[in-house]
Structure 1
Amino acid sequence: MTKLFFPSVALAIALVFPAFAIAQDNGTPTRADVKAEFIQFKQAGFDPAANDQLDYPESLQRAQQKLATQSQTESAAYGASTSGTSKSGD
C-alpha cells in the first residue's frame, strides 16, 4: 500500500499546484482600463501628443497630482454623486 501511496500523493500535488497558479489574478489592466486612464489624464491637462515635450515629467506629475486630489475629494464627499445628468418632464 505504501508503494502506491507516495506516488499518488506526489501526482495529486503535481496536479493541484497548476490550478492555484491559474486561479491567481495578476491585475493586468484591460484595454478599456488603459483607455479610461488615458482620458482621465487628458482631462487633467496631460497631452502626450503635444509637440512641446520640454516639460514632460512636470506636466505628467501635475496631472497625477490633480487626479489624486480629485480622488481624495470624491472619497471624502458626502451624499450622492453630483457628476451626472438627469432629465425630467418628458
Structure 2
Amino acid sequence: MKTLVCITFAACGLAAPIAAFAVPPSAPLTRAQVQVELMRLEKAGYTPSAGDEADYPANIQAAEAKVAAERAKQLSVTRSDSSPAALVQ
C-alpha cells in the first residue's frame, strides 16, 4: 500500500509540469489586431464616439453578436467549399 501511494505521488509529480505546458498562454493582442476588431465592430453598428453610456453594454454586445454571426457564416461557407462532397461535384 505504501508503495502504491509513493508511485501515485511520483506519477502526479511528473505529470504536473507536463500539464502546465499543455495549454500555451494566450499572447496579448497587438495594436493592429485591436484596430481590426474595432473596425469590425464599427461596421456592425457599434459607435464608440456616440457617448451614450446608458446603452454601452447592449450596443457593444449586439455588435459583437453580429461579428460572431458573420464569422460563423464565413466559416461555414469555407468549410462547405472544401468538403469532399463539394469537390466531387
Gaps of 5+ in 2: 1-23, 83-89
Matches within 5 A, 1:18-57: 26-57=26-57
Distance across 2 between alignment mates of 1:65 and 1:40: 11
RMSD: 1.9
Paired residue for 1:6? Answer: none
**Are 1:60 and 2:60 counterparts?**
yes
Q: State the identity %.
A: 30
* Shift in Å, 1:27: 1.2
Partner SS for 1:46: coil
Change beyond 3 A, Cα 1:26–1:61: closer
Q: 1:69 is matched with which residue? A: 69
Matched with 1:21 is: none
TM-score, normalised by the number of residues in structure 1: 0.56
1: CA distance, partners of 2:37 / 2:44: 11
Aligned-partner Cα distance in 1 for 2:71–2:35: 18
- With the length of structure 2 as denominator, give the TM-score of the two structures: 0.56
